Structure 1
Amino acid sequence: MSEVTIKASAAKEAAAVMNRLTTAEKNEALILMADAIIAAQDQILAANEEDIKRGQELGTSASLLDRLKLTPARLADIADAVKQIVALPDPIGDVLETGHRPNGLFIEKRRVPIGVIGMIYEARPNVTVDAATLCLKTGNSVVLRGGSAAISSNRSIVAVLREALSRSAIPADALQLIEDSNRSSVDEMLKLNGLLDVIIPRGGASLIQNVVQNATVPVIETGAGICHVYVDESGDYDMAEAIAVNGKAQRPSVCNSIETLLLHEAFAQKHLNALADKFRSINVELRGCETTRSIVPWVNEASDQDYATEYNDYILNIKVVPNLDAALSHISHFGTKHSDCIITENQANADRFLQDVDASAVYHNASTRFTDGFEFGFGAEIGISTQKLHARGPMGLPALTSTKYRVVGSGQIRS
């Protein structure tokens, strides 16, 4: 029997125990996990350094190494996020609907755990903790399959978390890590009907599409982040610069960073030179349309392939458009339904943008970098869903639940 099947079977057995745990028992376990992360800081950082060195030897880009890197400060933030999840209401058992039928039946709809969640993700070891704690808080078992780039970090983190669980009411087997880094382990998870109830992929477009196209287990699709900022004719320059720079350069390796800046032609004529110089000063490579390059000749040429690329790097496309309609058309064609922003003082244009852009999060005069479970008050997120069924946007605790109808009668039979 393979590692994947053995660990998924153990997680399924543990799920039966998880379903009976109280909120207090789950919270006590999560506090132990948060404290264990800090107590084992040196061990985790040493393992992470192995991953960083291996990545450097393989020529991994600086932005991807940043996603992989753990520091004492980042570990403290990760542990703090776990404690924030502890403080959040437990959705399990929430009564969503009630009703009495004419025949006397009482029907109640409640939130329940999904069961066993499979998580397939890439080189961000913080996701290991986020996914584990969110799933466990909602009474689910979880089978994690991280990327090979973070395997040393993930092994260390999961070992620490499982040891903490061994001192709690949550069975340690409710948390599993697939250590086989071969592609075959992912392929096996995708077909593990009967053991996994749902799979959530989190990473680049190729990983997500592989899961969506090949899984027979149900999938909650998280999307690649080709995010846009559109600066309207009435946009304030200082605000536009701050939001665009934050969206691109504050942390370019994450999915809510922007890849394309759309500028109304009137705004571009006044401000594009200054904006381009700002980006050049912070070492962001610019790729632009013909109009952009006529205003700022040193900008590289942008192609349709560039507009369709999630760079996760210090590269930004700039396109000058004649009006809001053209901006909406571009976003509709190249966007990934993740996060898009309009900067404008025209309320009618803002309202139309917020209404017409088909994305999980839309913004008026604020950075797309806020599309994040922590920033939305969810404590953390297991991913940002760009689909439209079950969950959309940052997925916190309620998104990791299903529902059950409880029907109480007094001997009724159907005629």
Structure 2
Amino acid sequence: MSESNAQAESTPRTEPNAQAEEERAAFLRVANRAKEAAAVLAPLPRATKDAALHTIADALVARADEIVKANEGDVARAREAGTSEYMIDRLSLSVARIESIAAAVRQVAALPDPVGETVRGNVLPNGLELRQIRVPLGVVGIIYEGRPNVTVDAAALCLKSGNVAMLRGSSSAFDSNTALVGIMQDALRSSHPAEPQQRSTDVPPDAIQLVPGTSRESVKHLMRARGLVDVLIPRGGASLINSVVEESTVPVIETGVGNCAVYVDADADVDLAVDILVNSKTQRPSVCNAAETFLVHTDIADVFVPRALEALRAKGVTVHGDDRVRSYGDDVVTATEDDWYAEYLSLDIAARVVDTLEDAVAHIRTYGSGHTEAIVTTSQPAAKRFVALVDSAAVMVNASTRFTDGEEFGFGAEIGISTQKLHARGPMGLPELTSTKYVVVGEGHLKGV
């Protein structure tokens, strides 16, 4: 047994019955194939990976009807379970949506390949040539909720960066995800040469894997597969992310939870501030970079708050405010302590009047998630101080929080938005799906005493 297998086998077993053993064995078979595929995939040149991505995109379009049929079963079960229409919309696939997903795969193929890029390098005083280069992470596990488009997005990003994708979507999208992964694997399989000895030059079909099973235990197998899986990336709500962070033995990159705030400074342009707030909240309220809180300096509150309430009301937004905000509108709901922490992902927003910029920063430090904060001001000193004091992955000055996004930043597609500080922070594009190694070249150099 390999060391990685031994590590995975040492994971505590919580269900010592035949079904649990069978599920675990199935997971280990998939994980071992993923580990082997990672060694083949890592050194492949860009042209090979790009060709595979285009083959995948073509296959998704060609077999769109098959995907839609599988998705219809997931949607029907979701409706029977009383799932909200908003969540059903996220779950649903159409031919048009599949074509859009395929187009995104082609966009990934067009992005620069980070693998092999030199991060830094120099010649040491002793003559050794030192280079730090980007290398794939290896096997990347992605745990996500009922959005089957993530299945393809994550697989494409992992493949382009030389990583194997181990995908565990929610059980609500299992049929859709099974169809998507099967089609992508078929596409890779069809591009393989007939001779086994030539397979080392092509992307292996096992580079894209779906974690078998729909039970909670199948998620735990992935979270505890240290030695087989190199890193986990959870994409979803706070409960999912917290569960993965707290229960995993595999290293985790946190992404996604966004309690984002817009602070309207005393020196703000009121018209601009209203536009930025409304865009931050309502342009797409269900995403992690939508604003969930707005904070207003007391010196501008009498002018700004009534205008903001009117504009938000027109968009159907419910405002949960402190006593000072409530004094400006009878329809403002009393904010509770939970509201300050809330990632609503809906047409709701919390609001507070603050006495100073520092009070706004203190509120963000206490309740924010470290995702994105914005200041609206005409004062350069205020902007600079806010930027210096706020500890978040992104800080906007006179711009909507909705711009925190890999595509908007010019990175192309992203695997998620990291709110932690180790390895990656902010939108995670292809470079963030790599690690580095040092290459040292000498001419018979020997270490002295």
TM-score normalised per structure 2: 0.88
- Aligned equivalents of 1:51, 1:248: Cα separation in 2: 30
Alpha-carbon contact 2:294-2:351 (below 8 Å) kept: yes
Match of 1:47 in 2: 70
Instruction: Note if contact 2:274-2:307 (Cα within 8 Å) is conserved in structure 1.
Output: no
Map residues 201-350 of structure 1 onto 2, 5 A cutoff. Answer: 201-350=234-383
- Cα deviation, 1:4-29, whole Å, max 9, x if unaligned, reads 22211111111111023110000011
Equivalent positions of 1:343-362 (< 5 A) are 343-362=376-395
Instruction: Show CA shifts across 1:262-293 (max 9, x none).
Output: 12223331132232232222222221111111
1:314-334 CA-to-partner distances (Å, cap 9, x unmatched) read: 211111212211111111110
Q: For the residues of structure 1 that align with 2:360 and 2:89, how far apart are their CA atoms? A: 32
Q: Give 1:200's match in structure 2, choosing from 224, 233, 240.
A: 233
User: 2:114 matched to which residue of 1?
Assistant: 91
Structure 1 position 147, deviation (Å): 1.2
Deviation at 1:62, TM superposition (A): 3.5
3-state SS of paired residue (2:166): strand
Other structure's SS at 2:190 match: coil
**Are positions 1:383 and 2:406 aligned together?**
no
- The CA distance in 1 between the partners of 2:405 and 2:173, in whole Å, is 22
Question: Which residue of the partner structure matches residue 199 of structure 2?
Answer: none
* Per-residue deviation, 1:68: 2.4
1:25 to 2:48 alignment: yes
State the alpha-carbon separation in 1 of the partners of residues 85 and 298 from structure 2. 34
Give the distance between the partners of 2:139 and 2:264, measured in 1 at CA. 44
Deviation at 1:72, TM superposition (A): 4.2
Q: Secondary structure at the match of 1:389?
A: coil
Q: Give 1:93's aligned amino acid.
A: G
Query: In structure 1, what is the Cα distance between the partners aligned to 2:90 and 2:299?
Result: 37
Contact 1:223 1:336 in 2 (8 A): no
**Does residue 65 of the first structure (1) align with residue 98 of the second (2)?**
no
* CA distance in structure 2 between the partners assigned to 1:343 and 1:280 by the alignment: 21
TM-aligned CA distance change 1:377 to 1:40, over 3 Å: farther
The answer to whether the aligner puts 1:112 opposite 2:135 as a matched pair is yes
Most deviating of 236-245 and 386-395: 236-245
Q: CA deviation at 1:42?
A: 2.4
Q: 1:86 to 1:160 in 2, by over 3 A?
A: same
Q: Secondary structure at the match of 1:176?
A: strand
- 1:34 corresponds to 2:72: no
What are structure 1's unaligned runs of at least 5 residues? none
Name which of 204, 207, 213 aligns with 1:174. Answer: 207
SS at match of 1:82: helix
1 CA distance for matches of 2:249 and 2:106?
35
Percentage of matched positions with identical amino acids: 51
Decide whether the 8 Å contact of 1:81 with 1:379 is kept in 2: no
How far, CA to CA, are the matches of 2:172 and 2:85 in structure 1? 13
Deviations 1:165-212 (A, max 9, x none): 113321110100124221111111111111101111111111111111
Query: Compared with structure 1, are the counterparts of its residues 102 and 113 closer, same or farther at alpha carbon in structure 2 (3 Å cutoff)?
Result: same
Which of 138, 154, 158 is 2:177 aligned to? Answer: 154
Residue pair 1:143, 1:177 contacting (<8 A) in 2 also:
yes
Larger-Rg structure: 2
Residues 320, 72 of structure 1: CA spacing in aligned structure 2 closer, same or farther, 3 A cutoff?
Answer: farther
Deviates most, 21-30 or 2-11: 2-11
Give unpaired runs (5+ residues) of structure 2: 1-23, 192-201
Please give the secondary structure, in 2, of the residue aligned with 1:166. helix
- The aligned amino acid for 1:284 is V
Alpha carbons 2:354, 2:360 under 8 Å: kept: yes
What code does the residue aligned with 1:249 have? T
Structure 1 CA distance, aligned partners of 2:157 and 2:114? 11
Deviation at 1:237, TM superposition (A): 2.9
- SS of 1:108's partner is strand
Q: Could you say what the CA RMSD is over the residues aligned between the two structures, in angstroms?
A: 1.7
TM-score normalised according to structure 1 size = 0.95
